[in-house]
Amino acid sequence: MDAPAIATRDLTRRFGQFTAVDNLTFSVAQGQFFGFLGPNGAGKSTTIRMLTGLLAPTSGQVQLLGFDFAAHPIEIKRQIGVVPEGLALFGRLTASEYLRFVGRMYGLDRETTNRRTGELLDFMNLADEPKKLATDFSHGMQKKLALAAAVIHGPRVLFLDEPFEGVDAIAAGTLKAMLQRMTERGATIFLTSHVLEIVERLCSHVAIIHQGRLVANGSLDELRTGVALAGDQASEKLTLEEIFLRVVGGAGPEAKAEAVPELSWLA
């Protein structure tokens, strides 16, 4: 049996006295399209940063593709791709220069790098303005460039932090198709997004984090069943948004709206 693509055990990150991620234990099987959800400040980005080696955990363990991250950081980094929260582009490079740089940093030979750079630029519709610097791109174009850089080395695990934010509908559709194709070929995708419809459509499994703790984890059907049993409701009718709202607080959108104190000074 294949080792899980991602496995954490008691993963914890503290900043001073603030615990951003608290004893997180979960695993993601290879080939899964995995959605990682949570309200703002729940610890999603901190978790992704720890899973990708951008941030050291305070305690706990991360394994990717069966390797312990702390013991084999380089081997693991060669197998993963990341679209981080801040995109981490080199603004004063052109798209082509940036992709060629990233390819070489991952150890691809020059020929492969150049070929894949051309293919990715065409695929992402970024080839029209070869002289334009990344810093002059629109946010959506920067996002596509960051995604191209994350996949140029053919990663086996791809981490995406809000990948579709600011991307137009046509490009988003193309990207989603590309990501689904990747999972069909065996890649694992770890996705965070606040757009729950996208997660519901793309992901087979979902975990929900709230105040640094894992509060739900399983396939969408498992989550529906769990929430339905707790709320005495037919499971097939529950959307991911309803599941999310029930799990992180409040009984549903109506209850949530009622709980918000009235801001009488608003027009």
When binding is defined by CB under 8 A, the residue of 125, 186, 195, 239 that contacts another protein is: 186
Question: Of the two residues 133 and 200, which places its CB atom closer to another protein in the complex?
Answer: 133
Residue 74 Cα distances to 31, 67, 96, 130, angstroms? 22, 10, 25, 32
Query: Phi, psi at residue 245, to the nearest 5°?
Result: -65, -35
When binding is defined by CB under 8 A, the residue of 3, 29, 87, 215 that contacts another protein is: 87
Q: Is 97 in the site for another protein (CB under 8 A)?
A: yes
What x-and-dash track marks residues 238-267 binding another protein by CB under 8 A? ------------------------------
Sheet-wide strand order for 59-64: 18-28, 6-15, 59-64, 67-68
Question: Of the two residues 166 and 231, which places its CB atom closer to another protein in the complex?
Answer: 166
Q: How far apart are CA 228 and CA 69, in angstroms?
A: 37
Residue 136 Cα distances to 90, 98, 164, angstroms? 11, 13, 19
Question: Of the two residues 88 and 229, which places its CB atom closer to another protein in the complex?
Answer: 88
Beta strands in the chain (DSSP E): 6-15, 18-28, 33-37, 59-64, 67-68, 80-83, 157-161, 188-192, 205-210, 213-219
Total site size for another protein, rule CB under 8 A: 60
- CB of residue 9 vs another protein: minimum separation in angstroms? 18
Residues forming a β-bridge with 241:
none
Amino acid at 154: G
List binders of another protein among 9-28 (CB under 8 A).
15-18, 20
Residue 82 Cα distances to 189, 236, 252, angstroms? 10, 34, 33
What x-and-dash track marks residues 152-181 binding another protein by CB under 8 A? -xxxx--------------------xx--x
| Other residues' Cβ atoms within 10 Å of the Cβ of residue 50 | 24
Among 72-80, 191-199, 215-223, 226-234, the segment contacting another protein (CB under 8 A): 72-80
Q: Is 104 in the site for another protein (CB under 8 A)?
A: yes
Binding site for another protein (CB under 8 A): 15-18, 20, 49-50, 52-56, 65, 67, 70, 73-75, 77-79, 82, 84, 86-94, 97, 101-102, 104-109, 112, 116, 119-120, 122-123, 133, 135, 153-156, 177-178, 181-182, 185-187
